[in-house]
Amino acid sequence: MANLQQQKSDVFGTISAFKTLLNDYPKFDISSLLPSINTSTNQLDFVVDLFSVLGSIDDLKNVISNIMIQYIDYVELAIKEILKVQIKENIACNINPSIMSDMKTCGVFIPLRTIDMFNLMRKSPLDPDAANFYFDVNPPSDNFINSNDFNVFLWYVVNQGCNGGCVWRPIPNPNQTPNLAVIDFIEHSSGTVCTGEIIEDNTINFKIYPDYAKKLTDFNSDFIDSVQLFDKQQLIAQVFGKVFGSLDASINRTQDEIFLEGQLNAIIDNLANCTVNETIDDSYFTFDNTTYNAMLREAELKKSGDFQYSKDENITVNITSQDILNALNGLNQTSDLVQQQDIFSNAIDSLINNALQSNPQASTADKFNFRVNIIKSLITELSSLLTMSIMTPKVYLLLIINLKLLGIDVDYDPISFIKNNINLVSNIVGGIKDVIMDKLMDTIVSMAGDLALQMGALAVKEQMKKYMSILQSLVPSIPVQVYSINV
């Protein structure tokens, strides 16, 4: 491990030395701002820190902007393919095909608390800051059943309901693609249901639409395709919310729920950074006392609204959900990609400046470090948020349904879900991390290539200076024109 730390240090040292030779001195002290120079195998932290020495804050902002604005549609398609493959290989192929008839007549019954572990359904799409949590919230409340956002649709099922169940269908082409599911909400249990089980209050009944004629594996694929995983404004708002700790108060989550999310984030980060053929044991799910207490304290601060950005103890942050909504004003599908990137970039500056204005006592160095750390955290939190997407109702519901069809008891907490389905989850997490890493590495390679070209040009220039000096010493009476080479 010590060798790994030395290798990391050598990489950063070489890049800094090259930039110094090019009169492009490092912008900040590497030892204080590059925490990835350690024995950790966290690849994402290391790659993000490479941006700090290869480029500038603006370079890092640009790559974040490119991923979130121009690359996110590709990320969604890639994640959907990962989900399809992993559900098929780990679950669906083991389910009896005859189960389809039972799924149409009776379906499965799942407690709402099982699929909505962070109580998203507690947040109304009618709230002023709803765009931070949902998308496609423009229809009036009686038309939320037609929303493109499956979570909005599910909120309608739970809070409004339909006589005989609400039909989920891909929109905006309901006539070209078959209806997929009928979903009903049972607020008060009447005891035993058609499956023979006794259900509890606040239970979801999920049936495959009667006219759906394909196999279960096809249904899984069609359902995943029917659900939009990410919306730019919502995703960016969620990333800002994770960095600044802003959204938990708006949704009125309990401290235990916030703490659970922190644990899941840490577990998923552990899985994302495990190496090939590494045995995943209980150490991935447990934390030492220092880490556990820090997560508990962070949950307490977020719940009380006193969250302090953990990497910069000299700066207190108080960014609200409404602040995020205001900063992203105008970021929608009607604006072009250039406008969307400008809005996102300005939102970063606006929220950081907002946080710094309430900290006039902070030193210039503290403020600069804070700005750098926030921008770097946007990438790491984005990766975490994308992997956590599998735990939201729109994805988690399908996973739970398939597991229940295998006869597995799904009434367990999300940490137990990960433990009991470690191959499924770790493969999904690893695939999502690779999608982000590939995009980051493409940019890193390009930036490193530019640096190498500049160093090559500098070497040629120095060699030419040497030859001209020799020539002048041999023939001092003949003036020699030394041509400059721009580096």
Give tens-digit pLDDT for 174-192: 556 678 999 999 998 878 8
State mean pLDDT over 273-282: 72
Residue 60 has pLDDT above 80, yes or no: no
**Predicted model pTM:** 0.76
pLDDT at 185: 94
Task: Give 216-261 pLDDT, tens digit per residue.
Answer: 888 899 999 999 888 888 888 888 888 887 777 677 778 888 888 8
- Which residue, 427, 458, 403, 465, is CA-closest to 94? 403
Burial class (CB in 10 A: 0-12, 13-18, 19+), 486: exposed
Distance (Å, whole) CA 429 – CA 398: 17
Q: Which helix (H) or strand (E) holds 204?
A: strand 203-208
Distance (Å, whole) CA 423 – CA 420: 9
pLDDT at 237: 87
User: Based on C-alpha coordinates, what's the Rg of the chain?
Assistant: 27
Q: Enumerate long-range contacts of 34-41, CB under 8 Å, 24 or more apart.
A: 36/8, 37/5, 37/8, 37/9, 37/12, 38/5, 38/8, 39/1, 39/2, 39/4, 39/5, 40/273, 41/4, 41/273, 41/275
Residues 6 or more apart from 280 whose CB is under 8 A from it?
A: 271, 274, 422, 426
What is the band of 208 on the pLDDT scale with cuts at 50, 70, 90? very high
Side chain identity at 39, as an amino acid letter? T
CA angle (189, 192, 198) in 5-degree steps: 75
Do 321 and 129 contact (CB within 8 A), yes or no? yes
Do 98 and 466 contact (CB within 8 A), yes or no? no
Distance (Å, whole) CA 130 – CA 457: 53
What is the band of 408 on the pLDDT scale with cuts at 50, 70, 90? confident
What is the band of 26 on the pLDDT scale with cuts at 50, 70, 90? very low
Do 430 and 271 contact (CB within 8 A), yes or no? yes
